[in-house]
Structure 1
Amino acid sequence: MSKCGLFVGITTLDLIYLAPYFPHPNEKLRAIDSTISAGGPATNASVTFSVLGNQARLLSVLGKHPITNLIRTDLENYQIEHRDLQPSWANSPPTSSIIVTQNHADRAVISLNATRCQAEINQIPDDALSHVDLVLIDGHQMAVGSAIAQQAHAKNIPIIIDGGSWKEGWESILPVTQYAICSANFYPPNCNTQTEVFQYLKETGIPYIAITQGEKPILYQTPETQGEIAVPQITAKDTLGAGDIFHGAFCHYILQQEFTAALSNAAKIAAESCTHFGTRNWIN
């Protein structure tokens, strides 16, 4: 029986170009390939969760700008149940332009985040948590994420945070979080080392913590143990969205397996995604 996950955060339109190199100032550079898809941490995670056989519900702002039709089509293609926090939002959605270099899989990203379209708590649908088995929060809709976290905690629904970077407001969500899956760029206040990050998160009461480090081993800590997990070594074509895909896969596996096994299997999915251009081609 499939599970239902609620993913709370940002939805963007991603314009992704594969290029021989990054353009120089004033240079017009011809792309080798390109792709357009919905993006954002919670959004890419929801797609991964869905294609692994689950029901994904996404809570984010889209609005009614014509560009959102491209995003909606992509979400519908992967059977994402989207709940719009601001259906009447008339401005264009956050858009990211990404260049990926062909030989080195380096990337350059310019984007607008969700600061211009922050939703309020009263815009949360009443049935957002209906039949939900877990919640993932990416921190880009912090007020909504915090409210959802408190509601989920009251219902004993496990909460996972995508700690890509520290954002003001995480401190209201961390105390009710079961799984903190963070990047190597996640540094809470007064933390300068990964040891300090682990200690900070542990002191907030989070029982299961992991820090991903790209191609380097995943560091983890549980109430019983700590250690590291090797990740598959691959020749990367594109690392865009790999962390998001990792989080979506982790959400799938943690409903079936213990913590370290879920981390290991999520790393395999994320590694596979890096051998393909764009954030969707790995699926096919």
Structure 2
Amino acid sequence: MKKGLFVGLTTLDLIYQAAQLPDSNQKIVATDYVVSAGGPATNAAIAFRHLGNQATVLSVVGAHPMSHLILTDLQEQGVHLADLHPTRSEPPPVSSIIVTQATGERAVISINAVNTAATPDQIPSHILQDIELQAVDIVLIDGHQMAVGRSLAQQAHTQNIPVVIDGGSWKPGFDTVLPFVTYAVCSANFHPPGCQSEVEVMRYLSDFNIPYKAITYGEKPITYGDRTQIGYIPVPTIQAVDTLGAGDIFHGAFCHFILQTDFVTALDQAAQVAAYACQFFGTRRWMAGLE
């Protein structure tokens, strides 16, 4: 059993399934809904745990009454929380999501971690000890706790622990993390300064000597680059029910598979898991069918 540390954002997700998005000043009735913990690092940790590993989320959740909904969900999923600010009384970040029933496409409004940013001196001592003792097998950084992520990425790199970034979008400060990254797995929305094309993004990442890079494009093939080549990996064709969290689940599955196999195979297997998850509403129901 491998152990992963997932550093970044934890939200409370309110997910609604509806026939269509509401028009201006219109009220609609949802056909289904889910309340669960969310956020890139958190969803990735839950997927990693479900695939048979130990997972710790390093994030800010706090002690607000709504925080207990997050804590309960993480406990049910078997994911440990290392809270960077456990006494924080303000509400945790909340995301409201509407999933269109016919297409599986989602619309999201949320608060990121700007108001809950922590500093490296808030990292719990047992997390630092695990890194130092190499009790962690892989670290994922989603960029929402950049200062903490940078500190841990640097320490993990020193200990030869692989570091993965979830490059869902460019965030200020990512350039300070990239020198310590082993696997940069980014979305098509990841645009570093001055980069618009795929070639420019790949070149930017290569300038940081990142050995393994990939860019995902939803239902389109994944572009990858390793030490020797650029290639493309097709993704499964499915009828999507819900694409929410697909990238997060992809990253969690990638962290699982990369500890067992090569880069290209891990990307391919992670795509299989993410595609399967998209055939279920919400970010949890897929796990009942993938035991």
Q: TM-score range by the shorter chain?
A: over 0.9
Counterpart residue number, 2:37: 38
Counterpart residue number, 1:92: 91
Q: CA deviation at 1:74?
A: 0.6
1:103 match: secondary structure: coil
Counterpart residue number, 2:22: 23
Residue 147 of structure 1: which of 144, 151, 158 is its match? 151
Counterpart residue number, 2:261: 257
2:150 match: secondary structure: helix
Q: CA deviation at 1:116?
A: 0.5
1:160 aligns with 2:167: no
Q: CA deviation at 1:178?
A: 0.4
TM-score by length of 2: 0.96
The residue correspondences of 1:110-149 to structure 2 (distance < 5 A) are 110-129=109-128, 130=130, 131-149=135-153
Deviations 1:232-252 (A, max 9, x none): 000001000000000000000
Q: CA deviation at 1:105?
A: 1.5
Higher mean C-alpha deviation, range 176-185 or range 120-129: 120-129
Structure 2 alignment gaps of length 5 or more: none
Q: CA deviation at 1:156?
A: 1.1
The residue correspondences of 1:213-224 to structure 2 (distance < 5 A) are 213-224=217-228
Counterpart residue number, 2:251: 247
Deviations 1:162-194 (A, max 9, x none): 000111111111011000000000011111100
Residue 232 of structure 2: which of 228, 240, 247 is its match? 228
Deviations 1:202-253 (A, max 9, x none): 1111000000000000000000111100000000010000000000000000
Counterpart residue number, 2:101: 102
Residue 205 of structure 2: which of 201, 205, 218 is its match? 201
After TM superposition, the runs of 4+ consecutive aligned structure 1 residues lying more than 6 A away are none
Same amino acid, percent of matched pairs: 58
Residue 277 of structure 2: which of 273, 277, 280 is its match? 273
The letter of the residue matching 2:22 is P
Q: CA deviation at 1:28?
A: 1.4
The letter of the residue matching 2:269 is N
The letter of the residue matching 2:67 is T
Structure 1 alignment gaps of length 5 or more: none
8 Å Cα contact 2:224/2:230 also seen in 1: yes
Counterpart residue number, 1:282: 286
In 2: Cα distance, 1:246 partner to 1:110 partner: 21
Counterpart residue number, 2:174: 170
Q: CA deviation at 1:106?
A: 2.0
2:275 match: secondary structure: helix
8 Å Cα contact 2:105/2:244 also seen in 1: no
The letter of the residue matching 1:229 is I
The letter of the residue matching 2:20 is Y
Residue 184 of structure 2: which of 173, 180, 186 is its match? 180
In 1: Cα distance, 2:190 partner to 2:162 partner: 21
Counterpart residue number, 1:77: 76
Q: CA deviation at 1:19?
A: 0.3
In 2: Cα distance, 1:263 partner to 1:172 partner: 25
Counterpart residue number, 1:13: 12
1:196 match: secondary structure: helix
The residue correspondences of 1:53-72 to structure 2 (distance < 5 A) are 53-72=52-71
In 2: Cα distance, 1:175 partner to 1:151 partner: 12
Q: CA RMSD in A?
A: 0.6
The letter of the residue matching 1:67 is M
The letter of the residue matching 1:52 is L
